[in-house]
Each structure stands twice: as C-alpha cells, then as structure tokens.
Amino acid sequence: MAKGKRDGLLIAGGGLAGCLAAIAVARARPEIPLLLVEEGESFGGSHIWPFYDEDVAAEDRWLVEPMIAKAWQGYYVAFPGQSRKFRAGYNSVRSADLDAAVRATLRPDQYRLGTKVVAVRDNELVLLGGEKIKADGALDARGAANLSMLELGWRKFVGREFIFAQPHKVDRPVLMDATVEQLDGFRFFQCLPFNETRMLIEDCYYSDTSDLPADAAERLDAYIRLRGWKKRRMQREESGALPIALGGDFGAFWRVGGARVAKLGLRGGFFHPTTGYTLPDAVRTAVMLTQQRDLTGAALHDLFEQEAAALWRKREAYRAFNAALFHAPAQDRRGIFESFYALDPALISRFHSGSLGMLDRMKLTKLGR
C-alpha cells in the first residue's frame, strides 16, 4: 500500500448520514477499514431527528433502534376546522445519542473529530493543512451544499426545549397545531413531550424564505402563554431551515463540482420532499453501503447517484403537492394541509414512508387544485 493510502472507506462529515453510514459499516462489515472525519468536536451537531415507524424498513431498524430517545404511539394535528388523533409510531433520535453510538461502535482509529475536510475526491480526502488520505473510495456527507440547482421552499423553525414546573399534560406529539395566527406562509406549532414536564416546542413555517423571524422568542412565549404552561426553564434551543423540493434539475445538482464523488445525506439530495426529514433516507443509504461489494469511489458514486435519481423520480407527486402549496396564495396554504390531514390515515402513512400508490397520488394532486 502506498504511503498515506488505506484500504476501505473514507467518510467526510460526521452528521446524521455520515455517522449512520459509518456505524452500519462498522457493525455489518467490520472487516472494511473505515475513517469518519468530522470538523466539529462531537458527532451530529445539536438536533432532534424525528421519524415515523413506517419510514424505516423493519429489517433496517437495528441501525437506529439503540439511539431512539423517545417513542410515541400516536400524534395529534389541530386545524381550525378539525383536530385529529393518529395511531402511528413516532420516534425521535437526539444528536447526543448518535454521538454516543459512534464512539461506542467505532474504534478511536476509525474517526477524527475537529478535522476539516477541504476537498473530497472519489478516493481521497484533503484535510485543512494539506494532509491527504487515500482509500478505495470516499463519500461526501458534509451536509447541505449547492442546493441552488433545485427549486425550493423552506420548512423553517425556531424551537426551545423547556422543563415546566407542572405537568404540561400533552400526552403525545402535536405535530401540527395550526390553529395559530398565520404568518410568513403556512404556520404551525409542534410540541414533542419527552416526559410529563419536559417538552420541545417549535414555531414552524412552510415559507418562501429561509430567514428566521427576528422576534422568535416572543412568538414562542406568546404560544406558551396561550396554552397556559407556566414556570419553565429552558434546556436548549435550535433553529433551522429544511429544504422543501418543488422542482429543479436534479441531474445538474448531482453534477455540481464536476467530480464523480459519491454523496450522502442532504448533500446527495436524500431528504423527504415535503417534510424535509432526512433520517429514513440516511438509514436506507447506510444499509445499502453495507451491501456494496465494490467500494471504489466510482462504484459508490454510481450506486448513490442512481439511488438519488430514482428517489427523485419516484417523489414527483410530492413536489407537485409542494408546488401547489407554495404557489397558492398565503391565505390558502393552511387549508391545503388541513385537507391533507382529513385523508385516510393509511394514505397519510404511505405519504410519510414514500410508498404512495397511483390512487394516492391522484388524491394528493386534487388537494392543490
């Protein structure tokens, strides 16, 4: 082996997709040499990644099961004209548990923290300072970049996790409380109760822009007052803007940069077009990686480019729904989601898991008209 050359895999970016890929390979194919490189001092940043039970195939569940911080057996949505309770498993994974899983699964020589990757080539990482590491193949999982080739709306949010002095009495997630004043597109609150007194509350928007509201704290406080929750202590805060796909040139998005480098996670366009959630795709691509025999960069590029392109084609109905939502006058957007949540729960479940049938797609198309 040449100096600086390793066999096996290099993964740039220890966020959700990179970590799941590394854990999956380390567990299912421990003979494959592996190096995961992350610029932060821990893996996964500071997020909570939710997913529905049906989003992750039963045979792939082993990968996320140990990281589930909280699982619920249903959720609520509330709109001016209807409130509805759904029976469906809903789970959340926290960054801290992802970080712990990486450290428990990978040997210390299989990862580097605090290390910035300045270039990813098909079989090489170039680190800040000039060090080059070669292997059979490299994967770029450094998060969102070059989304400009896609036509996007945004699902943006500001969330705070609180501990209340008294029980908040929310027994399961409220995924959309859209009874609130509508601002900046379609607006709703989301509440995830982790225990009787601990709850994450997010002010969310399907908006044309990714800018966060300047008065986010006041808006959260107003909602908490409205719901009558008192005496709270804030544990953590997060905000972000998740891309929502309306259209665009997906082929050009994958060709950005010119090099034939394999991409995972948001960087490879692996996200649910309507929710922006990425965990289900990240699990599936991680498991695909474990089944891949040819680990050269070119083979990995082709594998994930084809998968991403196939998903993009399969998800056309979602983009049509999103386009109808974002192109509708602001005052009509909440009504489109309200009609969606009046549909058959089985269809809603198929919507989340990406397994819509032809009839489902026709019903979805009608909602936007």
Ligand X SMILES: Cc1cc2nc3c(=O)[nH]c(=O)nc-3n(C[C@H](O)[C@H](O)[C@H](O)COP(=O)(O)OP(=O)(O)OC[C@H]3O[C@@H](n4cnc5c(N)ncnc54)[C@H](O)[C@@H]3O)c2cc1C
Name the site residues for ligand X (rule: CB under 6 A). Answer: 12-18, 37-40, 45, 47-50, 116-117, 141-143, 238-240, 242, 265-267, 277-279
Which residues lie closer than 8 Å to 308 by C-beta, 6 or more apart? 250, 254, 263, 268, 269, 270
Which residues are paired to 159 by β-bridges? 202, 238
State the nearest-atom distance from the C-beta of 117 to ligand X, in Å. 4
State the nearest-atom distance from the C-beta of 45 to ligand X, in Å. 5
State the nearest-atom distance from the C-beta of 362 to ligand X, in Å. 28
Among 23, 2, 3, which residue's Cα sits nearest to residue 11? 23
User: Which of 19, 367 has the CB closer to ligand X?
Assistant: 19
User: Which of 158, 336 has the CB closer to ligand X?
Assistant: 158
Among 79, 50, 39, 104, which residue's Cα sits nearest to residue 186? 79
User: Which of 92, 349 has the CB closer to ligand X?
Assistant: 92
Cα dihedral angle (245, 248, 252, 253), rounded to 10 degrees?
-20
Q: Which single residue brings its beta carbon nearest to ligand X?
A: 15
User: Which of 20, 324 has the CB closer to ligand X?
Assistant: 20
User: Within its chain, how far is the Cα of 269 from the centroid?
Assistant: 11
Residue 248, classed as helix, strand or coil, is strand
Among 351, 349, 369, 352, which residue's Cα sits nearest to residue 361? 351
User: Which of 280, 368 has the CB closer to ligand X?
Assistant: 280
Among 141, 95, 86, 55, which residue's Cα sits nearest to residue 354? 55
State the nearest-atom distance from the C-beta of 305 to ligand X, in Å. 16
State the nearest-atom distance from the C-beta of 71 to ligand X, in Å. 16
Among 148, 152, 216, which residue's Cα sits nearest to residue 183? 216
State the nearest-atom distance from the C-beta of 187 to ligand X, in Å. 17
Helices 297-314 + 316-327 axis angle, to 10: 60
State the nearest-atom distance from the C-beta of 80 to ligand X, in Å. 25
Among 192, 193, 197, which residue's Cα sits nearest to residue 157? 192
Tokens linked to 236: 């953590």
Residue 103, classed as helix, strand or coil, is helix
Spatial contact of 179 and 81, defined as CB atoms under 8 Å apart: no
User: Which of 45, 248 has the CB closer to ligand X?
Assistant: 45
State the nearest-atom distance from the C-beta of 283 to ligand X, in Å. 11
Euclidean distance between the first and the last CA atom of the chain, given in angstroms as a whole number = 61
User: Which of 35, 336 has the CB closer to ligand X?
Assistant: 35
Spatial contact of 178 and 79, defined as CB atoms under 8 Å apart: yes
Spatial contact of 151 and 245, defined as CB atoms under 8 Å apart: yes
User: Which of 279, 317 has the CB closer to ligand X?
Assistant: 279
User: Which of 141, 224 has the CB closer to ligand X?
Assistant: 141
State the nearest-atom distance from the C-beta of 129 to ligand X, in Å. 12
